[in-house]
Amino acid sequence: MIVMKFGGTSTQDAAAMTNVARIVGERLASRPVVVISAIAGATNALEKIGALASQQKRNEADQVIRELLGRHETIVDTLIRNDVRRGELHAHLKDAARELGDLVHGVSILRELTPRTLDAFYAFGELLSSRLVAAVMQEQGLDAQWLDTADFMVTDEQHNRALPIMELVETRLRGITAPLVSDGKVAVTQGYIGITQSGRRTTMGRESSDYSAAVIGAALGADDIQIWTDVDGILSADPRVVASPLKVTELTFDEAYELSYFGAKVLHPNTMLPAIEKNIPIHIYNSRHPERSGTKVVAGRPDQEAIIKSIAYKHDAVLLTARPAKRYNQFVFWEHLFNILTKFGAAPGMIVTSEFSIGVVLDARKDMSSIVQELHVLGTIDLLEKKALLSVVGSNIKKCPEVVTRLMKAVGAIAVHAVSFGASRSNVSILIDDDEVEDAVRRVHEEFFGSRVQPGMFESAPLSAGSLAR
Ligand code: ADP
Ligand code: MG
């Protein structure tokens, strides 16, 4: 059994959906369970509808609803010939229009968009796209069965960033899918969304459909978790920044985790966690070129040599430096500092310390003024804003201090505000000015991938135009 997850660009229109049905149809022997994201742009549109409603701009909200549902209608009318099926889908779209309208009405009266209500909006994206994909598959003769995540993807109550309760997901999902799979049916369900035990829709964080696929794969003991997207696999850098990155043929779970944690959008970082637990490989494939070999992510082998695999970057970083007031001893100070960061859900992407001060790199989108306000009681707080993290990820980097030298040489005159090396085997990170990060990524990529690369690890990646255009 395999899990196949298709992202928003793989389902964005009628042609893309037809393509998904074909790719799945060619892999029936592996008994696929299919996980679908919202069509490209839908999640943002739903967020906008909620925001407009909370500002009491109901007409504008209605307009966005019509546009969004219109895109789905076009797909139905283009692809669905069977009258019964087409009628059902139109009825679903009508229901969605009514339910979204009701939500907008409620939010505009209360003038407040809570995380729970936002999740109610978000859920429409995946519910609709997955129904369409299931219908398109049926239209092409596949025995597809639509599954609602409400029946199995049980999560905690942290709206917008819920986490699945694995034991419950596993029992429920196994109960539902076992008879389907043994009947040769293809289950089609939603990424990103879950349900609380009291029956409220949740979501698991933006871009988390990859994680959904891994959770489903782990729950079902899948042989493979396949992430189908719009690039050939994990590349040696973001193709929107570096003109022709190489494709990495294989990474370890740790490397893929660090790469996504440090900003590579191609996989959601959480994806690796269920896969590691059950030791299930993850493959990343290009839905526009399904014949290409993709990238394999598997458990690590103790590599002998140091290999640089990819360069990641992350905007919106802030370096917060704290110096304790004299009355604190250092241990108490650190404990307080981390307690406050934990309270605000602010996990440092990098930590640097000197004898009497500590610097933590935080996501600027966190509530920095509240964090700083609370920290002020501890001592002096400085903020360096508009920074970015650049990370070099690979195998055994820790063993190879030369990487740091080459990294510094490559960034040249670009100011480096902090460095982290050695805490993990697989990365070295530097903090630089935000407006220089793209340039720095290109220079560092040139340094490590420009001429001499390790044979066997990489393939050059012919990029589809779409990935560069976005
Ligand atoms: P999906 O909608 O399929 O989930 P995403 O947009 O989330 O697709 O992820 C794929 C995109 O990630 C690519 O189009 C590419 O622009 C971007 N990306 C950033 N860094 C990398 C990288 N190192 N390797 C591959 N893709 C990357
Ligand atoms: Mg994604």
Task: Give the number of whichever ligand sits closest to the CA of residue 36.
Answer: 1
Cα gap 54→56, rounded to integer Å: 5
For ligand 2, a single-atom ion, the residues with CB < 5 A are: 7, 207
Per-residue pLDDT of 300-320, as tens digits, reads 876 668 889 999 999 999 999
User: Ligand 1: which of 17, 211, 231 to mutate, judged by most atoms within 8 Å of the beta carbon?
Assistant: 231
Ligand 1 pocket by C-beta < 6 Å: which residues?
7-10, 37, 207, 229-231, 234-235, 237-240, 264-266, 310, 467
Ligand found nearest the CA of 231: 1
In the reported structure, the alpha carbon of residue 43 is separated from the centroid of ligand 2 by a whole-number distance in angstroms of: 12
Distance (Å) of CA 1 to CA 27, 33, 168, 191, 466: 10, 8, 20, 18, 31
pTM of structure = 0.93
CB within 8 A of 318, min separation 6: which ones? 361, 362, 363, 364, 368, 383, 384, 385, 387
What average pLDDT does the chain have? 93
With a pLDDT cut of 70, the percent of the chain lying above it is 95
Beta strands at 144-146 and 186-190: parallel, antiparallel or unpaired:
parallel
**Residue 461's pLDDT is what?**
43
Distance 37 CA to ligand 1 centre (A): 14
User: For residue 408, which of 431, 380, 378 has the smallest C-alpha distance?
Assistant: 431
For residue 453, pLDDT beyond 80? no
Q: Whose CA is nearest to atom 1 of ligand 1?
A: 7
Go through the domains of the chain in sequence order and give each one's CATH number: 2-229 (3.40.1160.10), 307-460 (3.30.2130.10)
Band (pLDDT 50/70/90 cuts) for residue 331 is confident
- Checking if the pLDDT of 455 tops 60, the result is no
Nearest to residue 55, comparing CAs of 108, 128, 11? Answer: 108
Report which ligand 1 atom has the smallest distance to the Cα of 233. Answer: 25
